[in-house]
Structure 1
Amino acid sequence: MEEMMDRSKRQIFFKDANNHEMNEALRVIRTNLHFLNEKEVARTVLVTSTAPKEGKSTIASNYAMSIAITGKKVLLVDCDIRRPRAHESFGVSFDKGLESVLAGECEVENVILKDVEKNLDILPTRNVAHNVTELFLGDKMKALLKDLKGEYNTVVLDTPPLIIASDAAILSKHCDGVVYVVAYDQVAKRELEFGKTMLNNAKANIYGFVVNKVDKNGLSYGNYGYYNNNYSYYKDYYTEEGEALARAYKPQKGFKGFIEKLKRDYKRQLSGDQKGKRW
Structure 2
Amino acid sequence: MTNNSQPFNSPSRPAVTQSHLPGMTPRQGKVRDVYDFGNQLLFVATDRISAFDWILPTGIPDKGKLLTQMSCFWFDLLKVRHHLVSTNPATLPLPAGTDLSLLEGRSLVVQKTRVIPIECVVRGYLAGSGWKEYRASQTICGISLPPGLVECDKLPVPIFTPATKAESGHDENISFEQMQRDIDPQLAEKLRDLSLSIYRQAADYALKKGIVLADTKFEFGLLGEEIILIDEVLTPDSSRFWPLDQYRPGHGQPSFDKQFVRDWLETQPWDKNSPPPPLPEDVVLQTRAKYVEAYERLTGSTFS
Q: Settle same-fold status: TM greater than 0.5.
A: no
- Give the TM-score normalised by the residue count of structure 2: 0.27
- Give the TM-score normalised by the residue count of structure 1: 0.29
Higher fraction of strand: 2
Asked which structure has the greater RCO (Cα within 8 Å, sep 6+), the reply is: 1
